[in-house]
Copies of this chain bind each other. A is one copy, B any other.
């Protein structure tokens, strides 16, 4: 039972994870495109298996440590989806030599030359995707840029295709805006692939991905694979976008009431930002959820309570409407569960999931890992 778990602790609802994973998996299967789940959120073997419906398959990772960890556990088709630097090439090559198909990404001529020289000198195969900037938010070369063909020419037969991530879809105000980002993401990366092919380069892989665009894109024509990660758990940022319901959020932080500030109507818990993370992703949305939505031990939201403020090991629970909370309703020792703003950030504050399925019964403890 959750009341035997020392707080603060991370709780994962397996039934919700299964439902969330089936939702995207079924959608992509119906649209005839491969799913390459991103494991940067979950960093868990059990969750990876659920995401792939029990069958092994291709995955995406955000660090070489993730690549090594999942390769050791049987995953051998991995895309490392952060721009590769020369200093990381030996570590990547060690994975390839051990039998892993490790794809890498890059978006500039310097990185392309370093990769080409390395694979030639070391006789390794590290197939590369060129990162395409389709949303003007971070990395990548523009679909129409001259540099795209220059990078393709440098890479030669190390080029495997193109990839993009419409991270700006997270700022959408409506589902139709998300669909707009999905179209822009797909059209941009397909255009880049087509330019490379016209210039005589191979571009076998056309990879897109973000949870909002994966769940709402109208078409994946020309796309070969979709990467998404946070859809496995969902979070308040995704709920604020309309991508999921609050009830779909599988991740929460278990906390205990440690005191009250009766005059202010606050309840103080041991779930501070160390347990919740400093992420305030809903601050820019229509409804600011503070450091998270407060639920009872069964995972049901309690009125309009949020974690209004947080220190390292203290959470301040308050009503969003300003109503004063009655200490009698939340005695010292009461267990609460906090739904997080951002599952990737909150998960990273913990070393394991306490697994439930719709009730406070803990059915398993699943390891997760951090670091690089």
Which residues of chain A have a CB within 8 Å of any CB of chain B? 3, 6-9, 40, 62-63, 82-88, 91, 106-108, 110-111, 114, 131, 133, 138-139, 167, 256-261, 268, 270, 273-275, 277-280, 309, 311-314, 316, 327, 331-333, 342, 344-345, 348-351, 370-372
* Shortest 6 CB-CB contacts between residues of A and residues of B: A83-B258, A278-B278, A110-B332, A278-B279, A82-B313, A62-B313
Q: Is the CB of B314 within 8 A of A82?
A: yes
Question: Contact at A167–B311, with CB atoms within 8 Å?
Answer: yes
Q: Which residues of B contact A62 (CB under 8 A)?
A: 274, 312-313
Residue of B nearest to A371 (CB): B351
CB<8 Å pairs between A and B, sample of 18: A8-B372, A9-B372, A62-B312, A62-B313, A82-B270, A83-B268, A83-B270, A85-B257, A85-B258, A110-B333, A111-B258, A114-B333, A139-B259, A275-B372, A278-B278, A278-B280, A348-B349, A351-B370
How far apart sit A372 and B7, CA to CA, in the bound complex (Å)? 8
Asked if residues B312 and A138 are in contact (CB atoms below 8 Å), the reply is no
Contact (Cβ within 8 A) A114 B82: no
Interchain CB contact under 8 A, B260 and A63: no
In angstroms, how far is the closest chain B Cβ from the Cβ of A37? 15
Q: Tell whether A87 pairs with B372 under 8 Å between CB atoms, given A139-B268, A273-B345, A311-B138.
A: no
Bound together, the chains give a CA A70 to CA B56 distance in angstroms of 43
Closest to A145 in B: B263
The listed residue (B63, B256, B261) touching A87 by CB distance below 8 A is B256
Select A110's contact among B86, B277, B312, B331, beta carbons within 8 Å: B331
Give A316 to B348 CA distance when docked, in angstroms.
21
A89 CB to nearest B CB, Å: 10
Given contact pairs A138-B316, A313-B82, A333-B85, A107 touches B259 in the complex (Cβ within 8 A):
yes
Taking each of A6, A275, A309, A351, which has the highest tally of chain B beta carbons within 10 Å of its own beta carbon?
Answer: A6
A68 smallest CB distance to B (angstroms): 12
Bound-state Cα–Cα, A167 to B309, Å: 13
Whether A259 and B111, one on each chain, are in contact in the complex, defined by CB atoms closer than 8 angstroms, is yes
CB <8 Å contact, B332 and A108: yes
By a CB distance below 8 angstroms, the chain B residues around A107 are 259
The distance in angstroms between the C-alpha atoms of A62 and B24, with both chains bound, is 41
Chain B residues with CB under 8 Å of A275's CB are 372
CB neighbours of A167 from chain B (8 A): 311
Task: Name the B residues within 8 Å of A86 (CB-CB).
Answer: 332-333
Which residues of chain B are near A331, meaning CB under 8 Å?
110
Tell me whether B82 and A258 are in contact (CB under 8 A).
yes
Interchain CB contact under 8 A, A313 and B63: yes
In-complex Cβ contact of A312 among B40, B139, B259, B311 (8 A):
B40
Please name all residues of chain B whose beta carbon is closer than 8 Å to the beta carbon of A309 when the two chains form the complex.
138
Inter-chain contact B332/A6, CB cutoff 8 Å: no
Say yes or no: B348 contacts A260, CB within 8 Å: no
B270 lies within 8 A of A85 (CB): yes
Is A83 touching B259 in the complex (CB atoms < 8 A)?
yes
A270 CB, min distance to chain B CBs, angstroms: 6
